Structure 1
Amino acid sequence: MARFKLTLEYDGSAYHGWQLLKGHSSIQGKIMDACREAFQTDKFELYGSGRTDAGVHALGQVAHLDVNTKLSPMQIRFKLNDNLPASIAIIDVEEVDAKFHARYDATARSYVYHIAKRKTAFGKKYAYWVKDYLNMEDMHHAAQQMVGLKDFRSFGDKDSETTSTKVEVKSVNVYKEGDSIVIHVVGSHFLWKMVRRMVGVLIEVGRGNITERKLQSFFDSYSNEPAKYTAPPSGLYLEHVYYNNEEIDYRPVSLLYIK
């Protein structure tokens, strides 16, 4: 039995998230179907670096695959892609040590969120169109309050896999890119719905509805208010998963190609 690290991208619009869920179409389920075709066996295991919600996309999701095969990594990549829908693509396959774990060995993760400042004919599934004026300077300044090791329980949701609500956010930056605003977030890990609620709160800051003092109160004590501002999944992309003290790139990937 060999272990392979898979790096993949996907358009999450038509899927109920990464995780296999009975009665729903998932990214993990589609890859498992492709594995059955490629290896002609049910004897394999597939683990992702983490879940993405329904409608969330990925530019660099990582999974590990345990399977008994004589195929080379390149052959595995080609065979899996041949059996996957156009909305899921395996970017890279490499054989790794049997101790490598896609989730537990990850040292950091980055996300980008795409806000459209104008109506776009192509981006409804890939961006969140905010019609109101957003003060980017206020958003970026408020974003720095989210950096550091903090208790993000006000920004998360109930999740059986989470034992602590403390998360180390390494950076949150707000950029203008053409007719878009891109929010780039890097952290050790993230709670369920946390990034979308961070974005939603920053949008309210940009609208002038939330002050820095109010934002700080979400960290001082639990509040369910951020849940009201949860940004839609369409604009969220899992950008990169970091391993082995890999140097973090704090510059967001360009999303101009989806405008």
Structure 2
Amino acid sequence: MQRYFIELSYDGTAYHGWQIQPNATTVQECLDKALSTYFRQPVASLGCGRTDSGVHATQFYAHFDLEIANEEAFGEKITAKVPDPLRSVSGINSLLPYQIAVKRVFEVDHEAHARFGATERAYHYQIHFHKDPFKLNRSWLYKGELDMEAMNEAAQLLSGYTDFSCFSKSNTQTFTNNCKVMEAFFEKKDEGLQFTIRADRFLRNMVRAIVGTLIRIGKKELDLADFKEIVESKNRSNAGQSVPACGLYLVNVIYPFVK
């Protein structure tokens, strides 16, 4: 068996997230069907994360294993007729919906892991303030004014904490809610705002809950002391509502063994 990494991007609007689930179309389901068809054998991928329904990714990694050669027969090893994975991008893309695009496929060590091997991830959250048909399902339309400076003051506090239970969905399968946030900030972009956050890992719904809470700072409903109290409470009910999925993008995943 040979392990491969596949880099892709997708518009998550029409999908119920990355991970396969019953009675719903997901990105992983579409990818696995395309890989299995192209390589003429059952293929099951494992992704670098689990994006929710409607969330997008400009960079996403998954790994999968291929049986390259059959067992020995009559003393000789019979090589299976498997298309060259390293030249498979256009072929796999032809089997995928237009909203999902493969960028590259490359060999990795058998122990390489798309989820647990990542050392850093980054997300963007897009906000726009005026009706724009070209941002439908790709950015959140917010009607009102926001104090970006105040939101950035609060966002800078995140790097001083490790337990982000207050921003996580309850009853998840994670063993810890500890994360290391390297940076978090808002900036003006395309007549709107873009929020960037980098961390070693993220909890389910974490980014959308953080943005929802920072929005309350920007609306002057909360101040820095309130924000600190929310984080230190470790209670999800104290934080703000999760903002809509349409504005969220996974934009970067870092591995020490991937260039």
Using the size of structure 2 for normalisation, the TM-score is: 0.90
CA-to-aligned-CA distance 1:208-259 (integer Å, 9 cap, x gap): 1111111001122133345542110000000011111879xxxxxxxxxxxx
CA distance in 1, matches of 2:171, 2:31: 24
Cα distance in 1 between the residues matched to 2:127 and 2:45: 33
Per-residue deviation, residues 123-149 of structure 1 (Å, max 9, x unmatched) = 120000111101111111111011144
State the distance in 2 between where 1:15 and 1:120 align.
Answer: 22
Alignment of 1:44-59 (within 5 A): 44-59=43-58
Which consecutive unaligned segments of at least 5 residues does structure 1 have?
Answer: 248-259
Distance in 2 separating the partners of 1:141 and 1:231 = 20
Which residue pairs with 2:25 in the alignment? 25
1:242 matches 2:254? yes
Report the residue type matching 2:39 in the other structure: F
Bigger shift: 12-21 or 213-222? 213-222
Q: CA deviation at 1:3?
A: 1.1
What letter corresponds to residue 24 of structure 1 in structure 2?
A
Pick from 155, 178, 189: which aligns with 1:166? 178
Conserved? CA contact 1:155–1:226, under 8 Å: no
2:174 partner SS? coil
Contact 2:38 2:83 in 1 (8 A): no
Any residues of structure 2 matched to 1:155-234 within 5 Å, and which? 155-225=167-237, 228-234=240-246
* Residues 71, 40 of structure 1: alpha-carbon distance in 2 compared, 3 angstrom cutoff: closer
Task: Note if contact 1:9-1:90 (Cα within 8 Å) is conserved in structure 2.
Answer: yes
Q: Which moved more, 1:220-229 or 1:74-83?
A: 220-229
Residue of structure 2 in register with 1:110 after alignment: 122
Q: Give the TM-score of the pair, scaled to structure 1.
A: 0.90
Which 4+ runs in 1 deviate beyond 6 A? none
**Partner of 2:76 in structure 1?**
none
Change (3 A) 1:24 1:227: farther
Partner of 1:146: 158
Counterpart Cα distance in 1 of 2:240 and 2:122: 23
| Contact 1:201/1:226 (<8 A) preserved | no
Q: Does 1:136 align with 2:136?
A: no
Give the fraction of aligned pairs with identical amino acids, expressed as a percent. Answer: 33
Q: Distance in 1 between matches of 2:245 and 2:229?
A: 25
Question: 1:38-90 CA distances to partner (integer Å, 9 max, x unpaired)?
Answer: 01222x33110110000000000100111124433343212210100000000
Rg larger in structure? 2
CA gap 1:159/1:140 in 2 versus in 1, 3 angstroms? same
- Would the alpha carbon gap of residues 140 and 28 (structure 1) be closer, same or farther in structure 2, given more than 3 Å must change? same
Residues 115 and 130, structure 1, Cα contact 8 Å, conserved in 2:
yes
The amino acid across from 1:65 in the alignment is F
Question: Residue 250 of structure 1 aligns with which residue?
Answer: none
Quick one: which of 84, 107, 126 aligns to 1:95?
107
- Aligned-pair CA distance for 1:177: 1.0
Structure 2 counterpart SS, 1:216: helix
Matched residue SS, 2:88: helix
Counterparts in 2 of 1:127 and 1:27: CA distance versus 1, 3 Å: same
Counterparts of 2:62 and 2:169, CA distance in 1? 24
Aligned length: 246
